[in-house]
Structure 1
Amino acid sequence: MPHSVSPVRAVASARSPVPRSGSAVLLAAGLLVAGCAQAGTAGTAGGGAQAPVRVGLVYSKTGPLAAYGAQYLEGFKAGLDYATQGTGAVDGHRIEYTEQDDAGDPAKAVSEAKDLIGQGYRILAGSTASGVALQVAPIAAQNKVLFISGPAAADKLTGLNAYTFRSGRQSYQDILTAASFLGDAAGRKVTVLAQDNAFGQANVAAVKAVLGGQGASVDAVLAPPDATDLTPFATQAKAARPDLLFVAWAGDTASALWTALNQQDVFATTKVVTGLDLAASYPLFGPAAAKISFLDHYFGGAAGTDVEKAMTAYLAKDGAKPDIFSPDGFTAAQLVVHAVEANHGSVNDTSALAKALEGWSFDGVKGRLTVRAADHALLQPMFQVQLTGTGAAAAPSVLRTLPADQVAPPVTPIAG
């Protein structure tokens, strides 16, 4: 999808072959005055031709989470442009990235990660699915490769090893946002309705840790990830008669789920809290939308920051709009650029790359972000949101922005 908006952007979309892998996008190098970089950006002057920095993006280009993967990739391109101030380079070293499609399959992702590592890639990013990230992270650590997980929300990634970071939120932050709707949880009953996969199990564990720790009783209704008839699970959720039903769902069966919940009249008997998904899902809630309490990682326009405006402007040039996981890709690019910049364009010492990220605070799409040094959790604001209107007119608005410290997960010491 080449564009000719500017010389830099034209080169940024050019493709060149990379042995045994997807195509690499080469972002043009340029010269900037040293010391003029914004927070989370690189603006150092480059000399002659320097060895490029190669980044492997292993993400869901196809499969059930392909829409999320597309948002991640668009955000990454925007973040790379922003973080390098349009030069595509750090200290004269071009940032190249290679796309690999894991299709949401952990085994495929592991194979692709090993292939990239074998080719000499020292930085990996991506992982749309939690199950993928939990398999790729140990491979990265074993090979001393910096790994920046993307939308994958599993809490187990935090503190998993010294080489694993994340550019998105984690389940614990979702649950702390959900808890803000409930108030005093002591003596209340909470049911989690989720898919029986890494993402769903992580949400069950987080709800038990957060709301269970506050005195609520927590149970779960788990559906097989490939289930298409979701009425039995909606019926089970209603029969549990919880004070709060927390719905954690991802993928292309969301429409069937909300249809089943509507048909079973679950909204009339319990308070329902769920995460607001990508914009294409807004019409799926129908009239029930006004009855749902939405926690939110992000939607286009939620933050109102200068960085968000920069990302939105970049995406618009590509005919795209910001969506739930656009910031995850954008932040990943900021992390990559900062780590490389701190090491003057070298990626040979990946321990030094990791150290450069630990404790780093910077201005991101959602506001001020911090990579917690103790366990690499990404501390960030979260949102309470309402959805108004139906069909194509459905639109979100922020009820409340929860500061990063209010939704910070507990520290998990790094395991290795």
Structure 2
Amino acid sequence: MRTRSSHIVIGRPLQALSLLAAGALLTGCAAAGTAGSDKAAAGDTSPVKVGLVYSRSGPLAAYGKQYMEGFTAGLAYATKGTGKVAGHPVEVTEQDDTGDPAKAVAAAKDLAGKGYRILAGSTDSGVALQVAPLAAQNRLLFISGAAATDALTAVNKYTFRSGRQSYQDILTAGTMLVNGRDKKVTVLAQNSAFGQANVAAVKSVLEVQGAVVSSVLAPPSATDLTPFAQQVKSGSPDLVFVAWAGATAPALWTALDQQGVLDSTKVVTGLAGTASYPIFGPAAAKISFLAHYFPGAAGDNPVEKAMLDGVTKAGGTPDLFSPDGFTAAQMIVHAIEAGSPTDTAAMVKALEDWRFNGPKGDEQIRAEDHALLQPMFTARLTGEGAAAKPELIHALPMSAAAPPQKSIAG
């Protein structure tokens, strides 16, 4: 199967190139990333090559598009429009993993074999967890994107993330449960890996706060969701956390509204991209949302404005994962500038404990486990259908949404 890639130099138009088949993983090239072994010579202005392996197509292509648009705007911002860092042109090669971990690993191996020292992307959590070990084996700086799995934090010393993680989502939802001790929380989800992972995450976060967590799990194939809405209401929970994916989402929110769940308790779910706003229908005004990001969430923030302007001027639409790409570009530029364009250990050191203003606000990379501490938001939707828009309720500072500290593996 043929895949596609593109090669970008800031200031030049995007050009489609054919992608070579994935090359063999060369252990000999790993030594090129060791500390002190490949410091750039004085006056060296050779290009810094960055590989973006992300979902340009496949189930998460919309998220991949948002990431890429944000990355392009972020690179222009961080390099002040020059496309260069410390005299080195930044050349970006895109490769499409289609959301398939095997394709992502093959692309990453190919880039490693060609001497790339920096990888970014990973729209999907399963992809990120497969690329991270390869980055460690080859001593590549790897900055994952929208992949939210908590398992990526502290997975190895070469892996970072430019987006949020699931624990930060749940912590944000927990702020809506006042005096959590002995309060009843019901997780409504599909009986799938995604749904079960959300149940586990809510238990791990809120049970520590004293809440009593139960779940109502519907078969993924279920189309009549009224019985599950009734089951939720009969438990008289103090908070309902909804984790739902797929085409039955509008039917779910209709059932919850018709059965009086939305009027009898607080119902919380994640605010996804703008395309998802209409699915809540008339129920939108009765739902509380935790939010990774939505345009305007960061208030009077010049970095967010730069991202919004950059994405819009390029013909894109700022959305949920635009900051993940923008922040990745900020991190890469800082790693090259404060570390080295070729010494991976120096780039890692430069990123650890780095505090900066990102499109979401004040952010910091925790040195101990590479968690990205960042603001999170709660919101409401006003209006219905195409007119639905998010409105900020509360911005949590990065300290209020910090996941537990871990130790880096290895």
TM more than 0.5: yes
Between the aligned partners of 1:181 and 1:122, the Cα distance in structure 2 is 42
Q: Which sits farther off after the overlay, 204-213 or 227-236?
A: 227-236
- Write out aligned runs for 1:261-410 (5 A): 261-262=256-257, 264-304=259-299, 305-344=301-340, 346-347=341-342, 349-410=343-404
Between the aligned partners of 1:356 and 1:256, the Cα distance in structure 2 is 48
- Deviation, 1:260, is 4.7
Between the aligned partners of 1:129 and 1:181, the Cα distance in structure 2 is 28
| TM-score, length basis structure 2 | 0.85
Per-residue CA deviations over 1:68-100 (Å, capped at 9, x if unaligned) read 111001000000100111111112222122222
Contact 1:131 1:198 in 2 (8 A): no
Partner of 1:29: none
Partner of 1:36: none
SS of 2:175 mapped into structure 1: helix
Partner of 2:205: 210
Q: Percent identity among equivalent residues?
A: 65
Between the aligned partners of 2:370 and 2:151, the Cα distance in structure 1 is 11
Could you list the runs of 5+ residues in structure 1 that have no partner in the other structure? 1-7, 22-46
| TM-score, length basis structure 1 | 0.84
Contact 1:130 1:199 in 2 (8 A): no
Between the aligned partners of 2:59 and 2:20, the Cα distance in structure 1 is 28
Instruction: Summarize the Cα distance change of 1:86–1:376 in structure 2 as closer, same or farther, 3 Å threshold.
Output: same
Between the aligned partners of 2:107 and 2:114, the Cα distance in structure 1 is 11
Contact 2:53 2:94 in 1 (8 A): yes
Between the aligned partners of 2:262 and 2:134, the Cα distance in structure 1 is 43
Q: Which sits farther off after the overlay, 378-387 or 54-63?
A: 54-63
Instruction: Summarize the Cα distance change of 1:217–1:280 in structure 2 as closer, same or farther, 3 Å threshold.
Output: same
SS of 1:152 mapped into structure 2: coil
Between the aligned partners of 2:190 and 2:126, the Cα distance in structure 1 is 12
Partner of 1:147: 142
Between the aligned partners of 2:292 and 2:329, the Cα distance in structure 1 is 18
Instruction: Summarize the Cα distance change of 1:168–1:286 in structure 2 as closer, same or farther, 3 Å threshold.
Output: same
Between the aligned partners of 1:117 and 1:318, the Cα distance in structure 2 is 30
SS of 1:355 mapped into structure 2: helix
- Deviation, 1:241, is 4.2
- Write out aligned runs for 1:178-193 (5 A): 178-193=173-188
Identify which of 100, 118, 129 aligns with 1:134: 129
Contact 1:130 1:198 in 2 (8 A): no
Partner of 2:35: none
Alignment-mate amino acid for residue 78 of structure 1:
A
- Write out aligned runs for 1:13-162 (5 A): 13-15=14-16, 19-20=20-21, 50-162=45-157
Partner of 1:219: 214
Alignment-mate amino acid for residue 13 of structure 1:
L
Instruction: Summarize the Cα distance change of 1:146–1:195 in structure 2 as closer, same or farther, 3 Å threshold.
Output: farther
Partner of 1:40: none
SS of 1:287 mapped into structure 2: helix
SS of 2:12 mapped into structure 1: helix
Contact 2:363 2:373 in 1 (8 A): yes
- Deviation, 1:203, is 3.1
SS of 1:315 mapped into structure 2: helix
SS of 2:319 mapped into structure 1: coil
How well do the aligned residues superpose, as a CA RMSD in angstroms? 2.5
Contact 1:171 1:202 in 2 (8 A): no
Q: Does 1:415 align with 2:397?
A: no
Instruction: Summarize the Cα distance change of 1:230–1:360 in structure 2 as closer, same or farther, 3 Å threshold.
Output: farther
- Deviation, 1:292, is 0.6
Between the aligned partners of 2:254 and 2:164, the Cα distance in structure 1 is 28
- Deviation, 1:287, is 1.2
Between the aligned partners of 1:251 and 1:64, the Cα distance in structure 2 is 11
Between the aligned partners of 2:83 and 2:380, the Cα distance in structure 1 is 38
Aligned residues between the structures = 382
Contact 1:65 1:251 in 2 (8 A): no
- Deviation, 1:410, is 1.0
Contact 1:386 1:396 in 2 (8 A): yes
Between the aligned partners of 2:151 and 2:97, the Cα distance in structure 1 is 20
Between the aligned partners of 1:57 and 1:228, the Cα distance in structure 2 is 37
Instruction: Summarize the Cα distance change of 1:107–1:328 in structure 2 as closer, same or farther, 3 Å threshold.
Output: same
SS of 1:113 mapped into structure 2: helix
Instruction: Summarize the Cα distance change of 1:114–1:361 in structure 2 as closer, same or farther, 3 Å threshold.
Output: same
Instruction: Summarize the Cα distance change of 1:52–1:364 in structure 2 as closer, same or farther, 3 Å threshold.
Output: same
Instruction: Summarize the Cα distance change of 1:343–1:104 in structure 2 as closer, same or farther, 3 Å threshold.
Output: same
- Deviation, 1:245, is 1.3
SS of 2:57 mapped into structure 1: coil
Contact 2:182 2:210 in 1 (8 A): yes
- Deviation, 1:296, is 0.9
SS of 1:384 mapped into structure 2: strand
Partner of 1:11: 12
